[in-house]
Amino acid sequence: MSKKLSGVHALVTGASSGLGYAMAEALLEAGATVALTSRGGSKLHEAVAAFKQKGYDAYGLSLDVRSEQSAQEAAQWVTKEWGKLDVLVNNAGIGMRTVNPRFLVEPQPFYKVKPEGFRDLIDTNVTGYFLVARAFAPLMIEQRKGRIINISMNYETMKRKGFVPYGPSRAATESLSFIMAEDLKEYGVAVNMLLPGGATVTGMIPDEIKQEIEKQFSLIDPRVMGEPIVFLASDTSEGITGERIVAIEFDKWLKERGLY
Q: Does 217 reside within a domain? A: yes
Q: Does 177 reside within a domain? A: yes
Structural domain count of the chain: 1
Of 70-79, 111-120, 198-207, 217-226, minimum mean pLDDT range: 198-207
Residue 215: C-alpha distances to residues 24, 25, 156, 221 (Å): 30, 29, 19, 16
Look up 260 and say whether it is catalytic: no
Of 116-125, 157-166, 216-225, minimum mean pLDDT range: 216-225
Q: Does 194 reside within a domain? A: yes
pLDDT at 210 over 80: no
By the 8 A CB rule, do 34 and 106 touch? no
Burial class of 145 by CB neighbour count within 10 A (0 to 12, 13 to 18, 19+)? middle
Angle at 136 between CA 201 and CA 50, to 5 degrees: 40
Mean pLDDT of all residues in 112-140:
97
Q: Does 3 reside within a domain? A: no
Q: Does 198 reside within a domain? A: yes
Q: Does 235 reside within a domain? A: yes
Q: Does 2 reside within a domain? A: no
| Rounded Cα–Cα distance for residues 109 and 50 (Å) | 42
* Residue 214 pLDDT grade (very low, low, confident, very high; cuts 50, 70, 90): low
**Structural domain boundaries, residue 110:** 9-256
pLDDT at 203 over 60: no
Q: Does 4 reside within a domain? A: no
CATH number at residue 152: 3.40.50.720
Angle at 34 between CA 193 and CA 96, to 5 degrees: 45
* Residue 260 pLDDT grade (very low, low, confident, very high; cuts 50, 70, 90): confident
pTM for this prediction: 0.93
Mean pLDDT of all residues in 183-208:
83
245, β-bridge pairs = 194
| Rounded Cα–Cα distance for residues 166 and 125 (Å) | 8
Catalytic residue among 21, 56, 129, 166: 166
